[in-house]
């Protein structure tokens, strides 16, 4: 196998990230999270594009420096081209094309969700095919059946909000700022998950789909009825966080294990921003101890949006597809390409 040194770039949402991968081994992974959106309570696409443009050169330089490699050592560039915010994707893709032209090396377009799926293999080469992947992030909540490399079949999807979106929107109602997922996680650690009961939508339906908008509405009515003047004490807030988190985690786990059981697949990958959630991680651990299954979770810096997973997937493409992984520079970005059957 010839040696590949790949520079990867990720800019699909509000993280600007660059990474250098040497033959499937991560040499550097620099992630810069945009903070400008906090004051607006959600990501503002136009501001995200500008912030990527401002940060990208320095982030790429830093990733190169930390890797100990020179630009001349690079053999290809991998970049996220879909899905994501159009302007944000264009910044990373245009940068990758320009650098590829300058260095005379090919560019490998990468699907962000496919990147999350294979991030579970990044430090777990023992996770072979077939596997079931639960991808839970701010924009997606899907279960994929992956029998072989490149054959990701979406067998379940959210019908409305993504799990991360539910964390963020409910957190906003609770006054926790944006993104609220990590804040709810932290507060829930000292709360009682049984203090309040919130709905678990579609839990017992005969499919692998999810729905979180009913949970959001139910929390809104609950807060209006029980706490019309706001939540006064910290312990109630912690109990609400723990109860909301439990409702989300329970459905995720229920559907995931059901998919694993019905398809008789023992390897499970859980990835995407929400896979950083400590309750989800511990519940997966507990559930896997009771069953003959293996759960593979990326480390935290590979759960959030990061370029290492993009470069790693590009390296896998080179292993499995050879030169077909490369693309002419005529590829474009594709902001919405996710809710399809096959990605």
- Write the DSSP assignment of 108-140 as a string of letters: EEEEHHHHHHHHTTSS-TT--SSEEEEEESSS-
End-to-end CA distance of the chain: 28
Min dist. Cβ of residue 253 to ligand KG4 (A): 14
Nearest to 164 by CA among 144, 127, 186, 135: 135
Going from the C-alpha of 246 to that of each of 136, 142, 178, 198, the distances in angstroms are 15, 19, 20, 9
Give the binding-site size for ligand KG4 (rule: CB under 6 A).
19
Nearest to 99 by CA among 67, 81, 74: 74
| Binding letters toward ligand KG4, positions 261-300, x by CB under 6 A | -----------xxx-xx-----------------------
Binding site for Zn ion (CB under 5 A): 137, 305
Span 175-194, contacts to ligand KG4 by CB under 6 A: 179-182, 185
Judged by CB under 6 A, the residue of 167, 198, 212, 257 near ligand KG4 is: 167
State how far the Cα of 135 lies from the Cα of 158, in Å rounded to an integer: 11
| Binding letters toward ligand KG4, positions 98-137, x by CB under 6 A | ---------------------------------------x
329 pairs with which residues across the strands? none
In the bound state with ligand KG4, the residue whose beta carbon lies nearer, of 165 and 208, is 165
CB-hemisphere CA count at 13 Å for 24? 15
Min dist. Cβ of residue 305 to ligand KG4 (A): 4
Contact (Cβ atoms closer than 8 angstroms) between residue 112 and residue 129: no
Min dist. Cβ of residue 167 to ligand KG4 (A): 4
State how far the Cα of 147 lies from the Cα of 10, in Å rounded to an integer: 26
Min dist. Cβ of residue 282 to ligand KG4 (A): 12
In the bound state with ligand KG4, the residue whose beta carbon lies nearer, of 120 and 272, is 272
Q: Which does 28 bind (CB under 5 to 8 A by kind): Zn ion, ligand KG4, none?
A: none
Q: Which residues of this protein are in contact with ligand KG4, per CB under 6 A?
A: 13, 137-139, 164, 167-168, 179-182, 185, 272-274, 276-277, 304-305
């Amino acid at each position: 196998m010839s040696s590949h040194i790949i520079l990867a770039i990720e800019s699909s949402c509000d993280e600007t990230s660059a990474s250098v991968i040497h033959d499937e081994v991560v040499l550097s992974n620099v992630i810069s999270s945009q903070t400008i959106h906090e004051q607006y309570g959600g990501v503002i696409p136009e501001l995200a594009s500008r912030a990527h443009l401002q940060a990208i050169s320095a982030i790429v330089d830093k990733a190169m420096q930390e890797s100990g490699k020179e630009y001349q050592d690079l053999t290809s560039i991998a970049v996220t081209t879909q899905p994501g915010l159009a302007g944000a994707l264009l910044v990373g893709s245009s940068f990758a094309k320009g650098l590829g032209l300058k260095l005379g090396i090919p560019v490998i377009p990468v699907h962000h969700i496919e990147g999350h799926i294979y991030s579970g293999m990044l430090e777990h080469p023992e996770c072979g095919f077939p596997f079931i992947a639960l991808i839970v992030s701010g924009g997606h909540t899907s279960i994929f059946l992956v029998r072989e490399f490149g054959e990701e079949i979406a067998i379940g999807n959210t019908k409305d909000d993504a799990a991360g979106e539910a964390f963020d929107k409910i957190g906003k109602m609770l006054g926790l700022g944006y993104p609220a997922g990590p804040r709810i996680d932290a507060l829930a650690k000292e709360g009682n998950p049984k203090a309040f009961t919130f709905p678990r939508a579609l839990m017992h339906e005969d499919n692998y789909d999810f729905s979180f908008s009913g949970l959001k509405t139910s929390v809104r009515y609950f807060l209006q009825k029980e706490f019309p003047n706001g939540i006064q004490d910290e312990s109630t807030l912690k109990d609400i966080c723990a109860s909301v988190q439990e409702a989300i985690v329970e459905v995720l786990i229920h559907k995931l294990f059901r998919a694993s059981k019905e398809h008789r697949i023992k390897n499970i990958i859980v990835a995407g921003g929400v896979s950083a959630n400590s309750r989800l991680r511990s519940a997966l651990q507990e559930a896997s101890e009771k069953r003959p299954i293996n759960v593979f979770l990326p480390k935290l810096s590979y759960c959030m949006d990061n370029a290492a997973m993009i470069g790693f997937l590009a390296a896998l493409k080179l292993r499995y597809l050879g030169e077909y992984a490369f693309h002419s520079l005529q590829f474009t970005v594709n902001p919405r390409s996710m809710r399809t059957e096959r990605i």
